[in-house]
Structure 1
């Protein structure tokens, strides 16, 4: 295959990957043309990815805005939107491409509770209607419980436990997960667990378990060996020497 043909093929695959995997965070709105309307901006997104921008494209945009409750402001300038509306438009820019995976990073930060609820309800509604997967990155435990099917708990950049939402929230195994879930009394029906000590410094990474200084069940092995992620129950994995 000629070099130019191979390059063209790679670019075509990259473009498809960019369409299939979309990333949404709270900062996206800072890059917008504030004078543009929502409808025009979504049209531009379709054009950039060489998707239909004619009647079919207009129908796709109109249907999406209707399903997200944004139809009434479709032709309003972006600069006049509320923070909640801006975040919904962030999401619309991703969903209009009909991706397979949407990465939602710290999506609800800075929004009041009523707007958070609105955003989550819309995401949940769209997930039921489409073959779509969300990767929801958040420290909002209530929101994660509402939107998730599977949950991975991370400590200092490492997964310490993962499983179904009911396993993680109602039957956590790792001591960090138990302490974390004890802050959600409406779900985790046990006494609040208060951890002692401070997280390790990122500038001095350890070869052992990053949680061992704060873990009430720490063993000698925890200081020097990073525990593997093992399946303890069906579908529930834990990284802990205590459960090795």
Structure 2
């Protein structure tokens, strides 16, 4: 019996910018997520990780591919069917203030999803709202206030409460702590970990911050120009990365007592992905002739460790 909650198969989201040019924001991405797991998605700005999250939930319509959630393919659902499924998967956004209506009281913002999905009576909904505020570490009386009356960390707690209010199975968290102070980041990450246990949640956690991803994730997928180039459990990936791009990301992280960053290995200057062959070819210090001509497939090179690299795949 499978424990799989989400399966993404060959998902593509392309944006035509002219008759001759297309931006491949998500380019043939496949992976699965187990129930109760936190899968971190990490990569540079512009790698397609946020578009991937929105495409899975169909907040952005994918160009092609399949997304299967709880055994149901949601990529082919009509608007009415999709609306019925949305209570099962929700999103936490990077900017909590932008996702909260400034004209509505917090209690009304939180009650709105319950009304949309016709969950509970009016009295029951009010009880759920008060309870959810307390669950995310806020006083129930704060429901009478407006979003501008709260700090960034408090607004993100409200955003989390809004995502949880319909009791979803899957949460996609898109850079949920990047706009917060470091001390507040830790509080929010600990809150998400606690909520995972309390509500049996599954997370897709999107971030560019390697430290944050390592702290909270069970597995990590590294994206580069719309593709997953490496995926493994968090401990393995950070201890023994196999893809040259992952190595360059980790080399760019300063470590106390280690000395200066290896600037050559950590070089992140890039104008665009290589048009043919491996997309990382133009930046890779280990490149070979085959890398320029043929694109490597994402293959399992060790138990649960996947890499899209000709050199690594050959050595496996």
Q: Distance in 2 between matches of 1:69 and 1:197?
A: 39
Deviates more, 1:226-235 or 1:82-91: 82-91
After TM superposition, the score normalised by the length of structure 2 is 0.67
How much does 1:25 deviate? Answer: 1.3
**What does residue 3 of structure 1 align with?**
none
**TM-score, normalised with respect to structure 1:** 0.85
Structure 2 CA distance, aligned partners of 1:31 and 1:146? 26
Q: How does 1:35-74 map to 2 (within 5 A)?
A: 35-71=103-139, 73-74=142-143
More strand by share: 2
Structure 1: stretches of 5+ with no match in the other structure? 1-8
Q: Given that residues 182 and 191 in structure 1 are in contact (C-alpha distance below 8 angstroms), is that contact kept between their aligned partners in structure 2?
A: no
Comparing 76-85 with 216-225, which one deviates more in the overlay? 76-85
Name the structure 1 match of 2:92. 24
SS at 1:137 equivalent: strand
| 3-state secondary structure, aligned to 1:29 | coil
Runs of 4+ in 1 over 6 A off after TM superposition: none
User: Of residues 225, 229, 237 in structure 2, which corresponds to 1:160?
Assistant: 229
Residue 98 (1) aligns with residue 167 (2): yes
Which segment is superposed worse, 152-161 or 174-183? 174-183
Structure 2 unmatched runs, 5+:
1-76
Deviation at 1:63, TM superposition (A): 2.5
- Larger helix proportion, structure 1 or 2? 1
Q: How many residues align?
A: 233
Kept after mapping to 2: 8 A contact 1:24/1:90: yes
Contact 1:209–1:227 (CA<8 Å) still a contact in 2?
yes
> For residues 212 and 220 of structure 2, what CA distance do their matches in structure 1 show?
12
* Higher alpha-carbon Rg: 1
Deviation of 1:210 after TM superposition, in Å, equals 1.3
Is residue 227 of structure 1 aligned with residue 296 of structure 2?
A: yes
Question: Are the equivalent residues in 2 in contact too, given 1:47–1:53 (CA < 8 A)?
Answer: no
Contact 2:219 / 2:231 at 8 angstroms: preserved in 1?
A: yes
Residue 217 of structure 1, CA deviation = 1.0
Q: Which residue in 2 is equivalent to 1:147?
A: 216
Larger relative contact order (CA 8 Å, sep ≥ 6):
2
